[in-house]
Amino acid sequence: MTTVDTPRILLTGFEPFDQDSVNPSWEVARALHGETIAGAQVHAVQLPCVFGAAMEVLDEALASLQPSLVISLGLAGGRSEITPERVAINIDDARIPDNAGHQPVDQSVVRDAPAAYFSTLPIKAMVRHLRDAGIPASVSNTAGTFVCNHVFYALMHRLSRRAGPGVRGGFIHIPALPQQAARQPGMASMALDTQIQGIRTAIHTAMTVQQDLQEHAGQLH
C-alpha cells in the first residue's frame, strides 16, 4: 500500500495506433503499475496517441500524482533495442495521422519555447545497466517528430517550469512485440517479459544513479 510519504513514479504508455491492436509501451507500463522500485511506487497512465490530447492527460497525471520521477514510453517499430532518448525537439511533423486524424506539419509543440530539451534521466547509466542484464540497449539521439517526441518535449517543458526541484524525466523507446513483427517480416522485436524487465531496470537506475556516466554513446550520422 502507498503511504503519503512514498515517492511516486509516473510511467506513461500509449494506446495502440496505426491500425495496431496492441502497443508495447502500454503493455509494459501497466505490467509495472503498483510495483515498488527503489522505494517508490509506479503509477501507470495511458496516453492517447493524439497531438494535444496526450499533453492534456500528461498534465492531469503530473498534477494529481506529483511524481518524483517521470518516464514516458513509446513504440519505435524497427528498433531492436531499448533506447533511452537524449533530446526532445520543439516540432510536430507527422508522417502519418494520429488517432484523431490530425497530421501537423512543421508546427511547434509549444509556441515561443526553446528549440530542444535534454532528458534529465541518467541515460548512459541506464544503457550500461540494461546491457549488464543481458538486454540490448543504446542511447538514441532522435525521438522522431510524431506523438512520442510531442509528449517528450511537453514533459520536459513542464518539468522545467512547474515541477519541484529534483524531479527527473525523460522518454524511452521500446521495440515492437513479436506478434507485431510477425505481421511485418523482417521487423525487429523484443519479448514483452524482456521489455518489462528492461524498463524495471531503467527505473531502478533512474532512482538510484544521480550522476550519469561519462562514456561514448554518440553516432556518426
Q: How far apart are CA 57 and CA 12, in angstroms?
A: 10
CA–CA dist 75, 78 (Å, integer) = 9
- Range of 133's domain? 8-208
Residue 2 banded pLDDT, cuts 50, 70, 90: very low
What is the DSSP annotation of the chain? ---TTS-EEEEEEEPP-TT-S--HHHHHHHHHTT-EETTEEEEEEEEPSSTTHHHHHHHHHHHHH--SEEEEEEE-TT--SBEEB-EEES-B--SS--TTS----SB-SSTT--SEEE--S-HHHHHHHHHHTT--B--BS---SSHHHHHHHHHHHHHHHTSPTT-EEEEEEEPBPHHHHTTSTT--B--HHHHHHHHHHHHHHHHH--S----------
Q: Is 214 a member of any domain?
A: no
The answer on pLDDT for 164 being more than 90 is no
Q: What is the pLDDT of residue 139?
A: 97
The span from the CA of 148 to the CA of 51, in Å, is: 9
What is the torsional sign of CA 215, 13, 79, 182? positive
Task: Quote the mean pLDDT of the chain.
Answer: 94
Residue 2 maps to a domain:
no
User: Which residue is it, cell 508546427?
Assistant: 107
Inside any domain, residue 180: yes
Residue 215 placed within a domain: no
Would you tell me how many other CB atoms lie within 10 Å of the CB of residue 3? 6
Q: Is residue 122 one of the residues assigned to a domain? A: yes
Would you name the residues annotated as active-site residues?
Answer: 85, 148, 173
- When divided into structural domains, the chain yields a total of 1
Residue 125 has pLDDT above 80, yes or no: yes
Q: Whole-model pTM?
A: 0.95
For residues 193 and 94, is the Cβ–Cβ distance under 8 A?
Answer: no
In a domain, 185, yes or no: yes
Does residue 49 lie within any of the structural domains? yes
Percent of the chain at pLDDT exceeding 70: 96
Q: Which amino acid is at 155?
A: L
Asked if residue 42 is part of any domain, the answer here is yes
Mean pLDDT of all residues in 132-147? 98
CATH number for position 33: 3.40.630.20
